[in-house]
Chains A and B, each alone.
Chain A
Amino acid sequence: MSAPRTVSRTPPARSGPPDAAGSPAKEPPRRPGPRRRRGAWWFTPWLYLLAPLVLLVVFTWLPVVNMFGYSFTDWDGISPTRNWVGLENYTDLFTRPQLFQVFWVSLFYLGASVVQICAALYFATVLSFNTRLRNLFKGLLFFPYLINGVAVGFVFLYFFQPGGTLDTVLGWFGAGPHLWLGDPHLVNTSLAGVSVWRFMGVNMVLFIGAIQSVPPQLYEAAALDGASRWQQFRHVIAPSIRPIISLSVILAISGSLSVFEIPFIMTGGSNNSETFVIQTIKLAFNFNKTGLASAAAMVLLAIVLVVTWFQRLLFPDERVEQS
């Protein structure tokens, strides 16, 4: 990879007399920056970047490249030999329905993230205005995000037990019990509900932060014009916090594709609840199909990148204003 090679290659090239006299002479008159006199050798920045770049390459770039390579082989992850199989893994993925079915599961989580973002927008708006016990509700709704994933899994495993908490509470209102996790048609809805419970608060806190940095004059003007709450939201709040909404949408999409923890802890992926990442992990580490698992991961990565690219295409300038 290019970056670290530069690091290791360049110092010997000119490392002879790296003294102060050499660098100011060849420095172009760019901004009157701090790079002057002592301690500003040309390789100084690379000293700071050495560790970050090594880590970046070893733990992000190298895996992506290796994985791309593995995806065309039949490697089992252990044996020293691997055979080139071309696109076989990819055709496998898209033609075998039991491998492809994980994409349908993601749709449940995608639906859940729509609910999650709408709820977060509603509560953020409500809690940004005059409301009693504002901070209490804000803390209450945010707290689930801080809870350990395994603990969340256990809390809801108990919650959804036959005759457990949910059935008890629904019983008070006259609704009958359901097999929340045992019913293949219901399991993904239940699990997606858990992820709304867990992540709604963090979206809400982000939205509240964004709403509070909107210039107050805008609300004043809207209020003077007699705008209703909904009109204020529609014409003042929503446009002002659009960047953070679109960021949340993109995170929600890539999040719903890479769901792992909750279904793995609660059901182990049984009963129709297997997600893409659970399947990949099982393929790689339980069935030793590293080649196939790599192809699956490449597909997931490609989808996430395409979605991100598409989002930037639609909302091009949004990061710029934040930096």
Chain B
Amino acid sequence: MTVLSGPAIERYPRPRGRSTPLRSRVAVFLKYLSLVLAGAVVLVPLAAVLLTSLRTGEEMAGGGALAAPDNWLNFHNYAVAFTDGHMLRALWNTTFILFFSVLGTVLIGSMTAYAIDRFHFRFKKSVMTAFLIASLVPGVTTQVATYQIVNNLGVMDTRWAPVLLYMGTDIVSIYIFLQFIRSVPISLDEAARIDGANSFTIYWRIVMPLLKPAVATVVIIKGVAIYNDFYIPFLYMPDDNLGTISTSLFRFKGPYGAHWEVISAGAALVIIPSLVVFLALQRFIYNGFAAGATK
């Protein structure tokens, strides 16, 4: 569950016994070589885009992909991408969807987990099975039929379509909450009940505050997934005014087809918020993903 970060493993001495110093020095060299190469593989494509985004249209004509821009502070392309790409509107749409989906996911996930873990009732097994089997159905496979349902609900081409879909298909968060809620002692519930609290007060006042780590995990995993999702907004919000970060960026492909400096600036604009959030919340993000994977 919780990732033990820290030097627990480092303390133990390397097995020196057999390998000759030369061999181990070669091994160390190869290890760092592999790390540096992998780092370069990650960085070079991103660096190329960053460098391109700072070049002018004329500079694009000559020079290789990794040539440095003449002026390192040429933000003209960013301005074009931001205004012509309607990035502000995209940011607003994404924020709207992100806020309501994450809020809904947290409430729904925690309520489901609370009901399943803290109550005994008929059909509990069936409810669990219904969620479990649903978790095996990959969302992408059922879009053909989901599309018809969204259409019939009358939310097609509104911001509520993705919100409903993100809330409705999130089985992972239910499992995360279930896992955390099991560690909250039942004696707390009982004490509150003796003081006259009803089940909703217990859920909201006692259990929820203790589930903060689970909420953080769900917010991180869900937030990353929604910010980066392309499929659902592309399919359910074709209207130009309802572009999200992903779909607005995708629309660069038409008008700027050959203007790589503008497309690069658009891509960089979308990547930078992820980078900032990642640097600020690194540790929580790692823990979130490690916790999310064990379902």
Task: Tell me the complex Cα distance, A123–B221, Å.
Answer: 23
Interface residues on chain B, size class:
35 or more
Q: Is the CB of A154 within 8 A of B263?
A: yes
User: Which of B7-15, B72-80, B211-219 makes up part of the contact surface?
Assistant: B7-15
Residue from B19, B48, B235 whose CB has the most chain A CB atoms within 10 Å: B48
Q: Which residues of A contact B246 (CB under 8 A)?
A: 148-150
Residue B144 lies at the interface, judged by CB distance under 8 Å to chain A:
yes
Contact mask for chain B residues 249-265; partner A; CB cutoff 8 A; 1 contact, 0 none: 11011000000100110
Q: Which residues of B contact A322 (CB under 8 A)?
A: 294-295
Task: Tell me the complex Cα distance, A115–B90, Å.
Answer: 36
Residue B35 lies at the interface, judged by CB distance under 8 Å to chain A:
yes
Q: Which residues of B contact A132 (CB under 8 A)?
A: 32
Q: Is the CB of B48 within 8 A of A277?
A: no
Q: Is the CB of A143 within 8 A of B250?
A: no
Contact mask for chain A residues 119-138; partner B; CB cutoff 8 A; 1 contact, 0 none: 10011001011111000011
Q: Is the CB of B115 within 8 A of A45?
A: yes
A81 CB to nearest chain B CB (Å): 15
Q: Is the CB of B42 within 8 A of A35?
A: no
Task: Tell me the complex Cα distance, A151–B257, Å.
Answer: 14
Q: Is the CB of B249 within 8 A of A34?
A: no
Whether A126 contacts B34 in the complex (CB less than 8 A), given A55-B167, A63-B142, A244-B293, comes out as yes
Whether A261 contacts B231 in the complex (CB less than 8 A), given A34-B186, A39-B200, A58-B149, comes out as yes
Residue B93 lies at the interface, judged by CB distance under 8 Å to chain A:
no
Q: Which residues of B contact A55 (CB under 8 A)?
A: 108, 164, 167-169
Main secondary structure of the interface of B (DSSP, over half): helix
Contact mask for chain A residues 34-50; partner B; CB cutoff 8 A; 1 contact, 0 none: 11111110101110110
B130 closest partner in A (C-beta): A3
A139: which of B12, B137, B140, B278 is its contact (CB, 8 Å)?
B278
A178 CB to nearest chain B CB (Å): 15
B38: which of A141, A228, A290, A319 is its contact (CB, 8 Å)?
A141
A148: which of B19, B227, B252, B260 is its contact (CB, 8 Å)?
B227
Main secondary structure of the interface of A (DSSP, over half): helix
A275 CB to nearest chain B CB (Å): 10
Q: Is the CB of B65 within 8 A of A168?
A: yes
Q: Is the CB of A140 within 8 A of B228?
A: no
Q: Is the CB of B126 within 8 A of A137?
A: no
Contact mask for chain B residues 147-191; partner A; CB cutoff 8 A; 1 contact, 0 none: 111000100000000001101110000100011001000100110
Contact mask for chain A residues 178-218; partner B; CB cutoff 8 A; 1 contact, 0 none: 00000000000000000001000010011011111100100
Residue A147 lies at the interface, judged by CB distance under 8 Å to chain B:
yes
Residue A90 lies at the interface, judged by CB distance under 8 Å to chain B:
no
Interface residues on chain A, size class:
35 or more
B202 closest partner in A (C-beta): A34
Residue B17 lies at the interface, judged by CB distance under 8 Å to chain A:
yes
A112 CB to nearest chain B CB (Å): 14
Residue A161 lies at the interface, judged by CB distance under 8 Å to chain B:
yes
Q: Is the CB of A61 within 8 A of B134?
A: yes
Q: Which residues of A contact B201 (CB under 8 A)?
A: 39
Task: Tell me the complex Cα distance, A25–B287, Å.
Answer: 45
- Among A147-163, those with CB < 8 Å from B are 147-151, 154-156, 158-159, 161, 163
Q: Give 27 pairs: A residue, B residue, CB < 8 Å, sorted on A.
A: A3-B130, A33-B186, A34-B118, A34-B193, A36-B193, A38-B198, A61-B134, A63-B146, A67-B142, A122-B34, A126-B34, A146-B285, A148-B245, A156-B45, A158-B48, A159-B44, A165-B45, A209-B290, A216-B11, A219-B9, A247-B293, A260-B140, A261-B230, A284-B147, A285-B147, A300-B138, A319-B295
Which B residues fall within an 8 A CB radius of A?
1, 3-5, 8-15, 17-19, 27, 31-32, 34-35, 38-39, 41-46, 48-49, 52, 64-66, 108-109, 111-112, 114-116, 118-121, 123-124, 126-127, 130-131, 134, 136-138, 140-149, 153, 164-165, 167-169, 174, 178-179, 182, 186, 189-190, 193, 196-203, 224, 227-231, 235, 245-247, 249-250, 252-253, 260, 263-264, 266-267, 270-271, 274-275, 277-278, 282, 285-287, 289-290, 293-295
Supplied contacts A141-B38, A211-B9, 4 more A-B pairs, CB within 8 Å: A60-B168, A67-B145, A163-B65, A168-B64
